[in-house]
Amino acid sequence: MPEQQILRVAVPAPLHHSFDYLPPADTSTEQLLPGVRVRVPFGRGERCGVLLEVVTAADADGRRLKRALALLDAAPLFSAADLALLCWAARYYQHPIGEVVANALPLRLRKGEPPLPVLQRIWSLTALGARQNPLALGRAARQAELLALLLESGGSLGQEQILQAGGGGRPALQALERKGWITLDERLPAEVRAAPTGHPPPPLNADQQAAVAAVDLACFGSYLLDGVTGSGKTEVYLALVERALAAGRQALVLVPEIGLTPQLIRRFERRLGMGLAVLHSGLAAGERERAWHLARLGQAAVVLGTRSALLTPLPRLGLIVVDEEHDLSFKQQEGFRYSARDLAVIRAQRSGCPVMLGSATPSLESLHNARAGRYRHLRLTQRAGEAQPARLDLLDIRSVRLEAGLSPVLLRMLRETLAAGNQALLFINRRGYAPIVTCHACGWVAQCRRCDARLTLHAASRLLWCHHCGSQRRQESKCPECGDADLRTLGQGTERVEEVLAGYFPEAGIARIDRDTTRRKGSLDRLLDGIRQGKYSLLLGTQMLAKGHHFPDVTLVGILDVDQGLFGADFRAAERMAQLVVQVAGRAGRAEKPGRVLIQTRHPDHPLMQRLVSQGYAACATELLAEREAAAFPPYSYQALLRAEASREGAPREFLEEAAGLAETLAGGRVELWGPVPAPMERRAGRYRAHLLLQADQRADLQRLLCVWVSQLAKLKSARRVRWSIDVDPQEMF
Ligand code: ADP
Ligand code: ZN
Ligand code: ZN
Using 50, 70 and 90 to split pLDDT, how confident is the model at 714?
Answer: confident
Using 50, 70 and 90 to split pLDDT, how confident is the model at 524?
Answer: confident
The pLDDT of residue 570: 82
Ligand nearest to C-alpha 445: 2
Task: Decide if 162 contacts 149 (C-beta within 8 A).
Answer: yes
Helices in 359-480 by DSSP H: which ranges? Answer: 364-371, 408-419
Q: Which residues line ligand 1 (CB under 6 A)?
A: 202-205, 208, 227, 229-235, 384-385
> What's the pLDDT tens digit per position in 273-299?
877 889 987 778 888 898 999 999 988
> What's the pLDDT tens digit per position in 384-421?
666 677 888 999 999 889 988 899 999 999 999 999 99
- Whose C-alpha lies nearest to ligand 1, atom 15? 232
Ligand 2 centre to CA of 445 (Å) is 8
C-alpha–C-alpha distance, residues 470 and 685, integer Å: 8
Q: At what angle do helices 233-246 and 262-272 cross, to 10 degrees?
A: 40
Q: Where are the beta strands (DSSP E) in 374-462?
A: 376-380, 391-396, 423-427, 436-439, 456-458
- Whose C-alpha lies nearest to ligand 1, atom 20? 232
| Ligand 1, atom nearest to 205 Cα | 23
Residue to mutate, 212, 229, 233, 235, ligand 1, most ligand atoms under 8 Å from C-beta = 235
| Low-confidence winner among 128-132, 605-609, 643-647, 664-668 (lowest mean pLDDT) | 664-668
Ligand 3 centre to CA of 462 (Å) is 17
Decide: pTM greater than 0.95: no
User: For 546, what's the count of Cα atoms within 13 Å in the CB-facing half-sphere?
Assistant: 27
| Ligand 1, atom nearest to 323 Cα | 2
By C-alpha distance, which of 10, 5, 7 is closest to 78? 10
Ligand 1 centre to CA of 200 (Å) is 13
Amino acid identity, position 571: F
Ligand 2 centre to CA of 108 (Å) is 52
Q: Where are the beta strands (DSSP E) in 545-656?
A: 554-559, 596-601, 638-646
By C-alpha distance, which of 359, 368, 372 is closest to 627? 368
Helices in 31-178 by DSSP H: which ranges? Answer: 80-92, 97-103, 107-110, 127-130, 141-152, 159-164, 169-178
Chain CA centroid to CA 30, Å? 39
Chain CA centroid to CA 558, Å? 27
Q: What is the mean pLDDT of residues 51-73?
A: 85
Residue to mutate, 208, 209, 234, ligand 1, most ligand atoms under 8 Å from C-beta = 234
C-alpha–C-alpha distance, residues 539 and 554, integer Å: 9
Residue 139 region by backbone torsions, left for phi larger than 0, else alpha for psi between -120 and 50, else beta: alpha
Q: What is the mean pLDDT of residues 226-249?
A: 93
Q: What is the mean pLDDT of residues 578-588?
A: 86
Q: At what angle do helices 651-667 and 699-713 cross, to 10 degrees?
A: 130
| Ligand 1, atom nearest to 229 Cα | 4
> What's the pLDDT tens digit per position in 594-620?
788 999 999 999 888 899 999 999 999
Residue 453 DSSP one-character state: S
C-alpha–C-alpha distance, residues 401 and 525, integer Å: 36
